[in-house]
Structure formats: C-alpha cells, structure tokens
Amino acid sequence: MTAAHSVTVVGSDTRTVDCAPGQPLLDAFLRHGVYLPNSCNQGTCGTCKVRLCSGSVSAPEVSETVLGADDQANGYVLACQSTPTSDAQIEVPVDAGSGPRHPLRDLTGTVHEVSEIAHDTLAVTVGIDEPLEFSAGQYIEFVVPGSGTLRQYSMANPPSRPDRLEFHIRRVPDGLATDRWIFDSLAHGHPVEMRGPWGDFVHDTESDAPMILLAGGTGLAPLKSIALHALERDPDREIHLYHGVRHRSDLYDVEFWQSLADRHPGLRYTPCLSREEGFGRHGYVGDVLVDDFDSLRGFSAYLCGPPAMVDAGVKACKRRRMSGRNIHREKYTPAPAGAMVLT
C-alpha cells in the first residue's frame, strides 16, 4: 500500500497534515480543519493557488487564464487539483486572509422533499443524520449516482438548521446531475451522497454594515442563507435584496421574501425581470441598484449568480462608491469538461 505524504504549510502558523494517495491538497487540509482558500473546487477560479516550496505533486494541466504563466513558473499550483507524490511544503499567498474552518466531511442524506418552485427550477430538501457545521453562503458537493461525478449546490438554509439542508437547483439541458438524475428521478426517501462544506463566499459576521444582496437565478440560495443568518443575529438589520431573472416564470420564493420583509422592516425585497415587465422592476439587478442609491459608502455586498451578472453587479457597487473590500462574490459557472470524479 502506498504511504501517505506529509504536507506542511510554511509561515507564521505552520501546519502539517497527511495526504492519502491520490488525495488533493485542498481536500486533505479541509478534512483536518486546516483552512486553505477555496471557492469553485473545479480548477476554474484560481482561488486555491499555493506555492510549492519543496516536494512534488501530480496535477492536470492548468489554463493560463486560471493560473498565469509567471505563477506556474514560480511554483504555484491549484490545491484543489494537485495530489502530492512526495512529502512537501507549500506556502499560501499572504493576501489569502482567513476563512471558515469547518472540517470537510462525507455525508449521507435522505431526500425529504422535491418541489418545483419556478420554470426549470426545483427546491430539494435533504435530511442528514449528523448536523453539518457550516457558514452561511457555503456549498455542498453531490455525488451523481453511478458516475462518481461531483456537482456543487449552495445551502439555502441558515447554519442554525444544520440537519435539514435546502438547495435550489436549475435544470441544465442534458445535464448529468439535473436532466439525467435530479429532474428525472430524484424523489422523497432517496439516499444522497454528499461532501462539504466548501467555499469562502460566507457571511462576514464581524461586520454590522447594511447589506446589499444581488442574486441571479438560483444564486439566491446562498443569499437566502446569509440573509436569514444576519436577521437571526440582528432582526433589525438593514438588508436590500435584489433577485434578477429573465421572466416572471423564473422567479421564486416571492411570498417567502414578502412575508419576511413584513416581519423585518429593515429588509427590502426587489424582484427584477430583465425580459418582461409588469411585476417588480424591469432591468438587470445592477442597473436597478444604481437607480435606487446615490451612494453605497459604508455598505457591504454579497453577489451570486452567472459571471456576467456578478461582474456587472460589482461595477454597480463600485460606481456607487462601495469599498472593494466589502464586496463578496460567487460566480456560478457550468461544470467543466472532465469535472472531478471520485476514485
């Protein structure tokens, strides 16, 4: 049997973990409760880059759009894609900061409910036997039955409800996880294999600034978790939620947000339709935000959805003079070809 390799993060807070054969660096560190920056876990965002100081790793070729040629020449690798082939030392970029330290776990859940909430969109509720410790905004990976392939879905429930996880899932045409499993056959009582939690897109509990939440489609899921968590901590928190979709049929949870706003006067809910008029506001969430505010100084923002929507939302926040360090973002991107498979 091949032995595990010892990998050390060098710096002011030296930490060492053992990586099993074939285990990615990121997976090993998070399972030991040791934080490394992470976001997509698919090798497409570059958030988890670390510098290999000594030792060797095995990893697939990385696009220069994710990890630049200079970084690669200087020994940087993606922790989510790199498996050590010897004992090693790695260095985390000094600007990586800190993040959630919830141990990564393998989970088995049971489907409690599958319900259609909008056009080509389902809400899936999964019960788990052992409560999951996570931060509002994080996600879980589902194991697609029969394939071992992983797909990422954000929790929509707050961390205070750790044993019943809620997900919002939009159909992807001919999608391995959606068309060929979740929308096709997933039902009450079915077992679901998962692992998590993952991600650095989380509620900053140290800040009490008024909040802007910009969601595109099912990007509403982690923002629901963040909003509920913030309101649990401060029922009077000022929160402005903008949910952008194309058509009225794509919109969901309208009554939930309207009812929540009735109970929390600091919460304002604004649905935005980009290709239809007659309900809510017409236009993209970033444009509507700019129309509503002359200044966003002192605000914090959380943006989640398609990349174009997130990029436009960031520009809108900065246009209204929000500090860049207060803008948190998560881009929903399609699973890449050759997405990670469990072995």
Residues 22-39 pLDDT 10s: 999 999 999 998 889 999
Looking up tokens 């402005």 gives 240
Write out the DSSP string of 109-133: EEEEEEEEEETTEEEEEEEESSPPP
- Under 8 Å between Cβ of 245 and 273: yes
With 0-12 / 13-18 / 19 or more C-beta atoms within 10 angstroms meaning exposed / middle / buried, residue 87 is: middle
* Closest by CA position to 297, among listed 318, 315, 281: 318
> What stretch of H or E contains 162?
none
Per-residue pLDDT at 11 exceeds 80: no
Instruction: Give the residue, 336 or 19, on which the prediction is more confident.
Output: 19
Looking up tokens 């990029």 gives 311
User: What pLDDT score was predicted for residue 341?
Assistant: 53
User: What pLDDT score was predicted for residue 93?
Assistant: 81
Calpha distance 36→24 (Å, rounded)? 12
List of residues 6+ apart from 52 with CB closer than 8 A: 75, 76, 77, 82, 88, 89, 90
List of residues 6+ apart from 309 with CB closer than 8 A: 214, 216, 219, 244, 284, 285, 286, 303
User: What pLDDT score was predicted for residue 34?
Assistant: 87
Question: In which residue ranges of the chain is CATH 2.40.30.10 found?
Answer: 105-198
Looking at the DSSP bridge assignments, the partners of residue 300 are 211
State both tokens at 104: 């990564």
Q: What percent of the chain has pLDDT over 70?
A: 95
DSSP strands (E only) in 179-238: 191-198, 211-216
pTM of the model: 0.93
Across the range 241-263, mean pLDDT stands at 98
pLDDT confidence bin for 343, thresholds 50/70/90: very low
pLDDT confidence bin for 334, thresholds 50/70/90: confident
Across the range 158-166, mean pLDDT stands at 97
Candidates 3.30.1320.10, 3.90.550.10, 3.40.50.80, 3.40.630.30; correct CATH number of 211-331? 3.40.50.80
User: What pLDDT score was predicted for residue 171?
Assistant: 97
Q: Which amino acid is at 180?
A: R
Instruction: Give the residue, 44 or 318, on which the prediction is more confident.
Output: 318
Per-residue pLDDT at 214 exceeds 60: yes
CA 158 distance to own-chain centroid: 14
The fold for domain 105-198 equals Elongation Factor Tu (Ef-tu); domain 3 (2.40.30)
Question: In which residue ranges of the chain is CATH 3.40.50.80 found?
Answer: 211-331
Per-residue pLDDT at 231 exceeds 90: yes
Average of per-residue pLDDT values in the chain: 94
**What is the CATH code for 5-96?**
3.10.20.30
Calpha distance 184→172 (Å, rounded)? 12
Across the range 115-122, mean pLDDT stands at 98
Per-residue pLDDT at 141 exceeds 90: yes
Across the range 316-333, mean pLDDT stands at 96
User: What pLDDT score was predicted for residue 33?
Assistant: 87
Question: In which residue ranges of the chain is CATH 3.10.20.30 found?
Answer: 5-96
Q: What is the pLDDT of residues 54-101, one digit of tens each?
A: 999 999 999 999 999 999 999 999 999 999 999 999 998 876 667 888
Count how many residues are written for the chain: 343
